[in-house]
């Protein structure tokens, strides 16, 4: 057994790597399911716009007030204020639950003029310092204040300042706290991988989240293969020729 093969097998069962994978699975479970909040967000927005645009409209001589009809005959949830607050709340849930997912998938906004030109260990050092001294501590501080924020809302039974707005505001604030916990888990997962790269065996290899191994650099962008148009065209021609045959 070669040193590289043995090192890869050792790393695949490395407790820090396994823990990072478990944290990633936890983050991605909420991220993938939380992404479905985009559907009610679009739906509430469309209903709100449709209801306001179809107020006091005359069509073929008939006066139409779609929003008033929906409020009186379906539910008070169709009031414009209620729909707008639902939009805000659903958007909060969407953003909160996918925040950590964006980090583990390396799809968060990254203004990166220096790091992208560095080698793997130098990039891992930046990730390690960033998560250790910035992301993880900052998320813990925000999570602490979010707990106070949510607890006060629950104790006082906070409601919307609008007379026709939503009640039980502590629910959406709790969702925000859950999102911060997920983001914290993603930060710890990246921190663990960065620590293994920096302090582990030289030839270790495992699936990375926000970095690339030296032999993979240049083939993609942060672990994602580049799209080469010439290769895509060649593949399409091959598929077309095989279909004709």
- Per-residue pLDDT of 156-169, as tens digits, reads 999 988 877 888 99
Q: What is the largest CA-CA distance in the chain?
A: 86
Cross-strand partners of 101 = none
The H or E element containing residue 216 is none
Closest CA to 118 of 34, 207, 222: 222
Q: How far apart are CA 178 and CA 79, in angstroms?
A: 29
Is the pLDDT confidence value at 104 over 70? yes
Q: What is the mean pLDDT of residues 234-243?
A: 62
Token pair belonging to 14: 């490395």
Positive or negative torsion for Cα 31, 35, 36, 37: positive
Determine the average pLDDT of the residues in 100-122: 86
- For 165-189, what is the mean pLDDT? 94
Alpha carbon distance 39, 177 (integer Å) = 22
pTM confidence score: 0.79
**214 falls in which pLDDT band (50, 70, 90)?**
confident
Residue 148 and residue 142 in contact, taking contact as beta carbons nearer than 8 Å: no
Within 10 Å of residue 181's Cβ, how many Cβ atoms?
A: 16
Contact 136, 184 (CB under 8 A): yes
Please, are residues 106 and 212 in contact by the beta-carbon 8 Å criterion? no
């Amino acid at each position: 057994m070669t040193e590289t093969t043995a090192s890869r097998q050792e790393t695949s069962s490395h407790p820090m790597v396994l823990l990072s994978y478990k944290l990633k699975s936890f983050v991605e479970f909420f991220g993938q399911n939380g992404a479905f909040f985009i559907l009610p967000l679009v739906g509430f927005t469309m209903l709100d716009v449709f209801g306001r645009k179809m107020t006091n409209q005359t069509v073929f001589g008939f006066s139409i007030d779609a929003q008033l009809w929906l409020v009186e005959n379906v539910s008070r949830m169709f009031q414009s204020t209620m729909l707008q607050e639902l939009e805000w709340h659903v958007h909060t849930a969407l953003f909160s639950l996918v925040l950590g997912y964006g980090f583990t998938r390396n799809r968060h906004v990254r203004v990166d003029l220096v790091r992208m030109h560095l080698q793997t260990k130098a990039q891992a050092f930046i990730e390690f310092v960033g998560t250790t001294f910035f992301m993880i501590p900052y998320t813990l501080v925000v999570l602490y204040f979010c707990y106070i924020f949510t607890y006060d809302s629950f104790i006082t039974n906070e409601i919307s300042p609008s007379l026709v707005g939503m009640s039980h505001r502590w629910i959406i604030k709790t969702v925000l706290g859950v999102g911060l916990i997920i983001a914290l888990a993603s930060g710890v997962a990246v921190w663990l991988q960065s620590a293994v790269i920096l302090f582990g065996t030289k030839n270790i290899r495992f699936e990375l989240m926000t970095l690339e191994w030296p032999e993979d650099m240049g083939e993609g962008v942060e672990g994602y293969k580049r799209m080469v148009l010439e290769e895509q065209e060649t593949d399409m021609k091959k598929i077309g020729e095989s279909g004709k045959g």
